[in-house]
Structure 1
Amino acid sequence: MTAQPTLTLAQMADEVLRTADGREKTALAHKHAATWRAAREAGTPLEIGTATPPMQPARPDRPELLDPRDVPQRKPGSPEGRNAILHAIAHIELNAVDLHWDIIARFTHVPFPLGFYDDWVKSADEEAKHFNLICDRLEALGSHYGALPAHAGMWRAAQDTAEDIMGRLAVVPMVLEARGLDVTPGMIKLFKQAKDHETVAAMDVIYSEEVAHVAYGSKWFHFLCGRENLDPKETFHRLVRQYFHSTLRPPFNAEKRAEAGIPPDFYWPLATA
């Protein structure tokens, strides 16, 4: 039999983006991440290659995607409200899987050290794990991903920054994922009060690993600023004002943001009063 040709990393990323089912997408993400790691550990890294990723990743038929204003609000203290929170988290994590593979596939024309790809493959692999952790909890509680409508605007930041790698790094990890560091402790507290220890354990894993994802964004944003002799803070403010269609909202998790390499003078000037 003729051996199958080895996919490039960009082709692997494109394959994930074109897979609709969430469980299948995350299984493929784990497989490709393992292939990348094994090649790196063997000292024979895969070719990065090129791809033409879709502007919108493949998605399952459910959940129904609604304008954020039309997504039903539920009382967070109720079982239904906690299920709605888990469903929203699963939706965010599935989008995060695609966002991290998209940054690999879409910007291969920008020269980066291999460490850039190491970081985003690792992040994409962890986001796939996070999606499955939350889906497992939804199913254990008698629900599933797709049972409720979800936010239709999650991919807008990717579309807006499809031709601007610095804009992508500024808005996705350094704004959107940093926001997760702000709000996750409150959600963990909610599930602790409900004595849902399994969900708390899952969210503790997510919280601890998301700090590194934000840090990768800050690291490579500063790398590009240094290479292009740009002031990182001024550039960050300019790009967030250009691409992020809202203001940043306190309270901020200053400790975790600092751990991720984002000091207060990056985000406070962009915040609402």
Structure 2
Amino acid sequence: MSDTTKPIRIGLQLQPQHADYQTIRDTASTAEDLGVDVLFNWDHFFPLTGDPDGLHFECWTMLAAWAEQTSRVEIGALVTCNSYRNPELLADMARTVDHISDGRLILGIGSGWFEKDYDEYGYEFGTAGGRLDNLAESLPRIESRLAKLNPAPTRDIPVLIGGGGEKKTLRLVAKHADIWHSFGDLETIERKTGILRQHCAEVGRDAAEIEISTAVQSEPDELGPKLRELGVSLFTVAASGPDYDLDLLKKWIAWRDEQNG
């Protein structure tokens, strides 16, 4: 799993909170001009930080707009909440945004966790285990629907699964994901990549096929090489409204360019 041959990529999670849409749109364009590789938003209905009832926008309608607005950068949710949409509908939405973007969509998905979203929008929150079981049921349905749609997707849409649960989530990553978005410190990521290797072996999957992604909050010079040694190749910086400070993002892009040569 400690594959260091994959090129380094830099993502920006452009959190759709506390800003008007013009600012979000302008920041997306700026990020693409800076050279970011992947532009993510998130799938929530309310802000996660700051004023809990502050400005906020929906995920997938925004991704469709980004698909038209941008021309190079890959786009996706970090991550879609499986609970909020029928899996067949989600597959059709993903296929449509894939075509709008000329094949630049990443289908990021997770089991969901933000209880306020569920309560306010009328979804059953249930338990963490139950939501993971639902995700396990949904992923094959998404794959099946993608195979039936006409027109078909422009490519095999990469699936990103976010989460670190060692028994259920990482097994789903081994079976279904092209990208695993990880959380935690270096020790945690190292341990979980080992567990992911075990799951891959059990399901007959080459673990090297899975790109490792993680969120980064500090500067790249010290952290970047250490994460790289663990096989991480997609490093994602988060920025929140209203101002969307991209200074840290610029440093990670410069580091990527130095490392990739």
Q: TM-score, normalised by structure 2?
A: 0.28
Larger proportion of strand: 2
Asked which structure has the greater RCO (Cα within 8 Å, sep 6+), the reply is 2
Q: Between Structure 1 and Structure 2, whose CA radius of gyration is higher?
A: 1
Q: TM-score, normalised by structure 1?
A: 0.27
